[in-house]
Structure 1
């Protein structure tokens, strides 16, 4: 038998942050899914481990269209991070190194789909 993952709403009065910026639920660093709703619509879902973002992070517009998605490892972004315009077209894409500190690629598109920024960091030494 598998245990259902814990899920809390970020607006729950028992949610708090400690001095180390860890998310607490009932005074304990939280592990599980954290949701946020706006006018009844799910607008964000983040996975936490021991009070720190660690896993998939997603945001939606109120109509349910995906707004942003990335993976976080111990509070730092990993791999590709995407944002979309309300019509579903890409707004930005960023690629982070496995360390989560180094941005390797950064692209942005306007609402008509035109590329407005395309940056590549220095090539990695081999």
Structure 2
């Protein structure tokens, strides 16, 4: 079994073109890309052939989960969730498999009260 290659987005050998395709050491990157603020991990994204592909997660500086979802060839698919700094759910979005169609969106304030609820076609 091959280990997944992991690099830091701030690595001097990382480059990104205008289409947001990520390169490492001159070639399109496949593996995991991290971002840190100081010693804290604040994002982790999967990449395939230079495009975000797979799980995507972000954290606040204190380690609280900020967002998570899945990307396919750089486009959001399925469910994405975001949280307020206090840990309360802030938003939930559902995207179609084509990554271009938002099917539903729900948002909440920091106390958990609904602020918006929308579904395509409803």
Shorter-chain TM-score tier: over 0.9
Q: What is the aligned partner in structure 2 of residue 101 from structure 1?
A: 100
Q: How far apart are 1:19 and its partner, in Å?
A: 4.1
Give the structure-1-normalised TM-score. 0.93
Alignment coverage as a number of residue pairs: 122
Uncovered stretches (5+) of structure 2, i.e. residues with no partner = none
Could you say which residue in structure 2 is the equivalent of 1:27?
A: 26
Moved more, 43-52 or 85-94: 85-94
Question: CA separation in 2, counterparts of 1:19 and 1:7?
Answer: 22
Mapping of 1:1-126 within 5 angstroms?
Answer: 2-122=1-121
Q: Name which of structure 1's ranges 13-22 and 52-61 shifts more when overlaid on structure 2.
A: 13-22
Displacement over 4 Å in runs of 4+: none
RMSD: 1.0
User: Which sits farther off after the overlay, 28-37 or 106-115?
Assistant: 106-115
TM-score by length of 2: 0.96
Partner SS state of residue 20, structure 2:
coil
Separation in 2 of the partners of 1:96 and 1:16? 28
